[in-house]
Chain A
Amino acid sequence: MADQTYPIPGTLDTTPSRGAALLEWVHSWVVTVDHKKLGILYIAYALVFLLVAGVEAMAIRIQLAIPHNHFLSAELYNEFFTMHGTTMVFLVGMTLIFGFGNYFVPLMIGARDMAFPRLNAFSFWMSAFGGLLLYFSFIGGFGLYGMGSAPDVSWWAYAPLTAKAFSPGHNTDYWALALIVMGFGTLGAAINTLATAFSMRCRGMTLLRMPLFVWLMVVASADTLIVITPLTAAQVMLIIDRYLGGHFFDTQAGGSATVWMHFFWIFGHPEVYVLILPAFGIASEVIPVFSRKAIFGYPAMVAASVGIAFVSLSVWAHHMFTIGMTSVSNAFFALSTMMVGIPTGIKIFNWVATMWGGKIRFATPMLFCTAFLFQFLCAGLTGIMLAVAPWDWQLHNSYFVIAHFHYTLTGSFVFCFFAAIYYWYPKITGRMLSETLGKWHFWLFFIGFHMTFDTMHFVGFLGMPRSSYTYEPDRGWTTLNMIISAGGLIQAVAVLILVWNIIDSFLHGPLAGNDPWDAWTLEWSTPSPPPPYNFETEPVVRSRRPLWDIKHPNDPDWKYER
């Protein structure tokens, strides 16, 4: 099967002019409006910050490896965990999804670019500038002395800790301003994604034939529109408080601390689904291809994704079970939160059903996706435990929560995006990543991940609170923390392998050809890497798996699809 050839559109010579000066090369990246180049910029940017936030995580883990450690001061620890969370969510998470979205949404729907190429460039540079502003805080403010004024109020930045009275200096300002700037970039990217998916589809690419990754980018972008903006609004209020002397969150003047909490989590909760939905999209591309089967229950997958996005708008207060809401609100938010499990369950079952009866090839992308399935199942179930409001009164702000959300963010989001890197790297660079290194990367990361985050559940049960730079030796948390930290280091080694693999394979990897995985979506019909205009002639499709139709002319999808 794999060696069967078929004609593909678009085979122009695209070798770049050799003698181009370095400066010209840089310039071409800075001024580019090509969705693929911008996609690569986004992804590279995200990977750099993954390393940065990862180093912060390692510093956190070294500090917590033993009780009463002095590796980091209290101030520095607080800056590090705030920056770690903020960076991972905004600079890594959001940029990764829009990076892959940028690169592959147009390709998968048979378009030649995003709907608004210049807005696209603008969005990227806004995000980039926001990230740099955030990190400028380390040297800005009071200067390098004392590590400057990096934000140190945690990523949810509860009022009134962020008020001038309790947060003098500029730590909080960097946090708010950088994220406002990034927010505009994200908003632009989301609008662009929506316009692209709705208005740039090739002939025959009806909405219900769009690849699931595109669908999930659409849902995530729509969610982004409604949730990044409240964060921006709340941060504008915070800035008004801090610079103009407003009183929105000034508890001395009648302002309310809980209003900030609501505003933040109205953003914060759906935000985590914004991150996970594109990850679901990746799983929905990778799992069928490596199981050699069509996705099971495509319409249900689409409906469930939209359902998740909708329900997730009404669950935010499950982060606030301990703030003294009425028992009725607590019960309401417990129910709405648990209901998210229903559409999510549909997705999990559909993925398993897709694998059922297949011929599963465990290449590296599939390994990551399979581990994702397992870890997301666990993560979802711990989420359900947290949704049980009375239990959350115990678990809230303990390491159990940290464990839950690293299962979702590292164990699901990052795993899926590692899968995406292995899956699409050949398309982006024209070369395969090394499978051997890929396996090493997978297994080390998998082992490190489980050492770290499985153990965190237990220290959570034993009462260890988060956001704490140290702990007492007599609490029975010492051994477990040591294991957690050791697992963190193993993860770091694994990530270093990935970095090496990316660099080495770029130079020496075997050539990939157009369609190394024998896949079915349109991006695999172009050369690797695709030429600037993507498709020589605009493709026309008649089913969800256009390349399947070509490869199986006697048994095409459009005969069966519902």
Chain B
Amino acid sequence: MQRRHSLLLTRAQVFSLALAGMGAMPSGAQGALTTPSILAPASTPAHEIYALSQFVLVITGAIFLVVGGLLAFVIIRFHARKTDAEHEPAQIYGSTQVELAWTVIPVLIVVVLFLTTARVIFAIQDAPKPQSALDVIVVGHQFWWEFRYPKLGIVTANELHVPVSTSTMPRPTFLQLLSADVDHSFWVPQLGGKTDLIPNHPNAMWIDPQSTGLYLGQCAQFCGVEHAKMLLRVYADTPDQFAAWVKAEQRPAMQPDAHNADAVAGRHVFETQACANCHTISGTAAKGTFGPDLTHLMSRATIAAGAAANTSDNLRAWIQDPNTVKPGALMPAMQLSDQETDEVVAYLTTLH
């Protein structure tokens, strides 16, 4: 696994170096990478931006070559030599024609750049929303993500599932972006540009991943202590996978098996301790909304917005003291006894 990562990473690095060197980039379509590179677009907005960026790079690259070349020439050609005559070089105070030329040419370049830019702004930002679009409400919290699917009745956290969108079956996802506290920003580079989540100021954006897989991203607006660990995972599922996921999420929480005494006890602890004030587990007394919905906790690969893998050990560590996993997270250490902790973990691991 580690090897694959490093291979992918070198590829992405080679791209960016190539891009710097030649001002040209290899074509996009790579599928999901562990490096959230903006040079490997996998969704229409990201593709359009990528194409635009290539165009801009060519123009700025050309300016760079011309002006940089001039500068290099001047440095080499006109540096003082020992053999030079003693007197001062000819004094030139200016030249209207030349100065006019280097005013007008940049004006033209700016016009071209602006028109191309404007086209893409409108194409992405004002794209009409098709009937088939999926709606998701994203709520930013310090320091985790809440995802609500209003039409499907699903609430989940940190890991967004969306259907893949193909040219034959376009299924874009439209995100409505809200914030529960401070500013955040939703950014999954392979899928599109970022948009901020600002309290009192609803925003929107859309994505349509074209190949399946896991796309990584993270919060891109400084939002406090743990801003760095407000990671994002977006799964682009095949239509079947997505339907199955929706179905699983729509069920209320699993009841712990009666044989599983620990889990039964754990549920009791969960419902009677403060946990229930902050977390929701549908079908139980826990109806809090301050923390992530735990109804299908086990359907997620990570906990605490990607701060740790979703394993029993990590859950235990987390519940004992979230600060050891994610210092500054807004869940307090719950002061449960070891036994209670084990029971709660046993219960949580049943929440598939």
Contact = CB atoms under 8 A, between A and B. Distances in A.
Contacts of A296: 92-95
Give 6 closest A-B pairs by Cβ, nearest first.
A393-B193, A476-B9, A463-B36, A468-B228, A476-B35, A324-B203
A161 B224 CA distance: 7
Given A251-B199, A397-B194, A388 B74 contact: no
A143 interface: no
B199 A458 contact: no
Given A154-B222, A294-B93, A470 B182 contact: no
A397 B53 contact: no
Given A1-B87, A355-B75, A388-B117, 16 more contacts: A73-B327, A74-B226, A160-B199, A166-B181, A257-B198, A293-B88, A296-B95, A298-B93, A322-B194, A335-B114, A346-B99, A357-B89, A370-B75, A388-B113, A475-B9, A479-B13
Interface string B63-93: 1100110110011001111001011111111
A166 B70 contact: no
15 contacts: A291-B89, A322-B220, A335-B118, A341-B110, A350-B99, A352-B71, A360-B79, A370-B71, A391-B56, A397-B185, A458-B20, A468-B227, A475-B9, A476-B5, A479-B13
Given A1-B88, A161-B223, A461-B37, A474 B217 contact: no
B241 interface: no
A466 B13 CA distance: 19
Interface string A411-448: 00000000000000000000000000000000000000
A381 B181 contact: no
Contacts of A267: none
Nearest to B216: A475
A390 interface: yes
Contacts of B53: 385, 388, 391, 394
B319 interface: no
Interface string A308-345: 00000000000000111001001100110011011001
A336 to B, nearest CB: 10
Nearest to A256: B200
Interface string A251-266: 1001111100000000
A378 B64 CA distance: 7
B34 A292 contact: no
A373 B182 CA distance: 40
A359 B78 contact: yes
A201 to B, nearest CB: 21
Contact of A388 (B52, B194, B196): B52
A442 B229 CA distance: 38
Contact of B195 (A322, A341, A468): A322
Nearest to A457: B20
Interface in B141-166: 142
A330 B222 CA distance: 22
A339 B6 CA distance: 42
Interface of A: 1, 73-75, 78, 153-154, 158, 160-161, 166, 251, 254-258, 291-294, 296-300, 322-324, 327, 330-331, 334-335, 338-339, 341-342, 345-346, 348-350, 352-353, 355-362, 370, 373-374, 377-378, 381-382, 384-385, 387-398, 457-458, 461-463, 465-472, 474-477, 479-480, 552, 555, 557, 560-562
Interface string B87-114: 1111111110011001100110010011
B102 A462 contact: no
A300 B99 contact: yes
A525 to B, nearest CB: 18
A348 B50 CA distance: 29
Contacts of B48: 390
Contacts of B84: 359
Given A324-B195, A476-B12, A358 B89 contact: yes
B113 A384 contact: yes
Interface stretch (B121-129, B271-279, B287-295): B121-129
A153 B225 CA distance: 9
A483 to B, nearest CB: 11
Contacts of B192: 393
Contacts of B17: 458
A254 B200 contact: yes
A338 B114 contact: yes
B246 interface: no
Contact of B93 (A154, A158, A562): A562
A362 B81 CA distance: 11
A324 B201 CA distance: 9
B297 interface: no
Q: Please indicate which of the listed interface residues A296, A327, A357, A461 has the most CB atoms of chain B within 10 Å of its own CB.
A: A461
A394 B93 contact: no
Interface in B241-259: none
B231 interface: yes
A81 to B, nearest CB: 9
B19 A334 contact: no
A377 B70 CA distance: 12
A462 B35 contact: yes
Contacts of A552: 88
B304 interface: no
A331 B130 CA distance: 24
Contacts of B16: 457-458, 461-462
A349 B221 CA distance: 37
A378 B20 CA distance: 12
B269 interface: no
A327 B125 contact: yes
A297 B228 contact: no
A314 to B, nearest CB: 14
A257 B201 contact: yes
Interface string B293-306: 00000000000001
Contacts of B52: 388, 390-391
Contacts of A345: 102-103, 106
Contact of A390 (B89, B99, B193, B306): B193
Q: Please indicate which of the listed interface residues A378, A384, A385, A462 has the most CB atoms of chain B within 10 Å of its own CB.
A: A462
Contacts of B45: 390
Contacts of B95: 296-297
Contacts of A334: 114, 117-118, 121
B38 interface: yes
Interface string B178-190: 0001110101010
B194 A394 contact: yes
Given A154-B222, A161-B222, A359-B80, A342 B106 contact: yes
A331 B182 contact: no
Contacts of A373: 71
A381 B194 contact: no
Given A384-B113, A388-B117, A293 B224 contact: no
Nearest to B218: A465
B8 interface: yes
B219 A465 contact: yes
A472 B349 CA distance: 25
A560 B91 contact: yes
B93 A381 contact: no
Contacts of B28: none
Contact of A257 (B81, B200, B204, B218): B200
Contacts of B91: 293-294, 555, 557, 560
